[in-house]
Amino acid sequence: MFGINQNCEIALPDTYYTLEDYQSNVPRWCPGCGDNSILTSVQRLCRDEQLPPEKTVFVSGIGCSSRFPHYMGTYGFHGLHGRALPIAQGVKIRRPDLDVFVNMGDGDCCSIGTAHWIHAVRYNMNLVALLHDNEIYGLTKMQVSPTSPQGLVTNTTPRGAFLKPIKPLSVTLGISNVSFVAQVAEWMPELMYDVLKMAYHHKGFSFVRVVQRCPHFTPHVFDNILSPDAALLLQHDDGLRSSDTMLKIYKSQEEHDPSNLNRARELAEREDCLPVGILYRNENVEVYDETRRRKRAVTHEMRKAALEKEFSKFLVEPVTGGNGHA
């Protein structure tokens, strides 16, 4: 972090941001909520990357997870239901200098905002999108969500959900221009941190599905995958290499090359286990905000001049000389 340069002057960054700099209000999520885990991992990422809070934006839709920007000490935009992605894209295209993160719930992304989701993947703009997937509508007190498992009893499906759930990873991997897809579980903080870091450094649209328990409404939905044996840890030199501790805990592992799209699709389809890690990564997909970036910088002076020009249209010039008057 600190280095001594050759002139023997201690080179210190102007400001060093601590974890507290990224914390805002005390989270009002239920105790035990997985969102807390995601929040902590994201804050750690911000601190370790030393992202200036004034240059970082969190955009969200509606839902429990979408309270995320309130708890970050950065800029944030609590948007409309399902509309987090277009807002984030708008922010990014006008201000490419900002780091933009998107937080969406499963209802936000996979239900009302599905169209935006699909096109956001296709546009491949330089964003990090987190899908907080607890497979239930929690904020509105337990209604079925598009990712709820078949047979889940909710307030809207008292006899159990009768449709098969949508598979966010399979959908994302099927859209053209997809460039980064990963999956983690909120109860693996170390892995989540590593994946988020990779997602942040990836150039393009990074889609991370975070499987997340709702301690209040779906405490047991994930029981079958909670045990370490149920997770399939994806490892590769081009993807992630987990620490020895992780490898000891999660014994079932697979060497998976993130550039292998077909294998990634197979993994996304698996129901017997939870593949966690980087499923797909391709740095060579064109990034929309770079290819469509305007060539000319818009300076303050140019804005001012344009405004002046507009204003001058309404300027009433005093008439000089007596002849003009009737």
Partner 1 sequence: MPDVETGLKLDQVSKNGPVEKVVEIDIARDLGQFFLTGNKKNVKTKLSSLSGLHSVYTANLANSAKRRIDFPLVLPDDLQQHVVSLSQFIDSIIENLEGEGEKVEEQKHYLYLVENTLRQSTLDKSAPFAKSWEEAVKQVATAARIDKSKKQELQSTLRVLFEKNALNGELLAFNPEIIQRLFSRIYSKQTAKRSAEFLQKSKDLLQQVRDVLITEFEKSDAAKTPDQLGGQLAADEFNLDAFSGLMGHIGDKGESQSRVKRLQKAETLLAEMIEKMEDGELTVCTDLASGLKQYESELKKFIGYFKARQIALLEVENQYQANLHDAFFEKFDLINVSLVEQALIWPAVIYLKQDELNAERIAEILRIADADIPIKVIIEITHPLEPGRSAYEAMQSPGAANRLLRTLLYGNQTYVGQVALSDVKGLKSAFKKGLQYKGPAFIGIFVGEKEKANERYTEVMGATHSRVSPVFTSNPGKGSTWAQKFCLKHNENYERDWTSATAQFSDENGAAKEVTEEFTILDFLTENTTFAGHCVVVDQAALTDSFVLGCRFMQKEGSVSGIPYVLKYDVKGKAYAVIVTQFLVNLAQKLLMNWRGLQELAGVNNSHVIAQMAIEEEKFAKALADKEAELESAYQARLDSALGAVADEIVGNIAAGLLGQATAPVSAPAATAPKPVAAATTPAAETKDVVETKPEAEAEEDEDMSFDEAYIDTPLCTSCNECVQRNKMIFAYDGNQQAYIKDASAGPFRDIVEAAEKCPVKIIHPGKPLNPGESGLDDLVKRASVFN
Residues that bind partner 1 (CB under 8 A): 19, 27, 29, 31-34, 36-37, 39-40, 43-44, 186-190, 213, 215, 245, 249
Nearer to partner 1 among residue 221 and residue 267 (C-beta): 221
As a dihedral over the C-alpha atoms of residue 1, residue 204, residue 41, residue 215, rounded to 10 degrees, the angle is: 180
CB of 31 to partner 1, least distance (A): 5
**Closer of 89 and 103 to partner 1 (Cβ):** 103
Q: Which is nearer to partner 1, 135 or 186 (CB)?
A: 186
When the beta carbons of 160 and 219 are compared against partner 1, the nearer one is 219
Q: In terms of CB distance, is 190 or 266 closer to partner 1?
A: 190
> Using only C-alpha atoms, what is the Rg of the chain?
24
Read out DSSP for 194-213?
Answer: HHHHHHHHSSS-EEEEEE--
From edge to edge, which strands make up the β-sheet containing 56-60?
Answer: 75-78, 56-60, 99-105, 128-133, 206-211, 180-185, 274-281, 231-235, 253-255
Measured torsion, CA atoms of residues 32, 35, 38, 44, in degrees rounded to the nearest 10: -80
- The C-alpha atoms of residue 165 and residue 168 are separated, in whole angstroms, by 9
Question: How near is the Cβ of 226 to partner 1 at its closest, in Å?
Answer: 8
Q: How far is the CB of 36 from partner 1 (least distance, A)?
A: 5
Instruction: Find the farthest-apart pair of alpha carbons in the chain and give their distance in angstroms, rounded.
Output: 96
- DSSP secondary structure letter of residue 234: E
CB 172 within 8 A of CB 265: no
Task: Give least dist CB 188 to partner 1, A.
Answer: 8
Q: Whole-number minimum distance, CB 220 to partner 1, in Å?
A: 12
Cβ-based nearer residue to partner 1, 23 or 177: 23
Question: Cβ 203 to partner 1, closest distance in Å?
Answer: 27
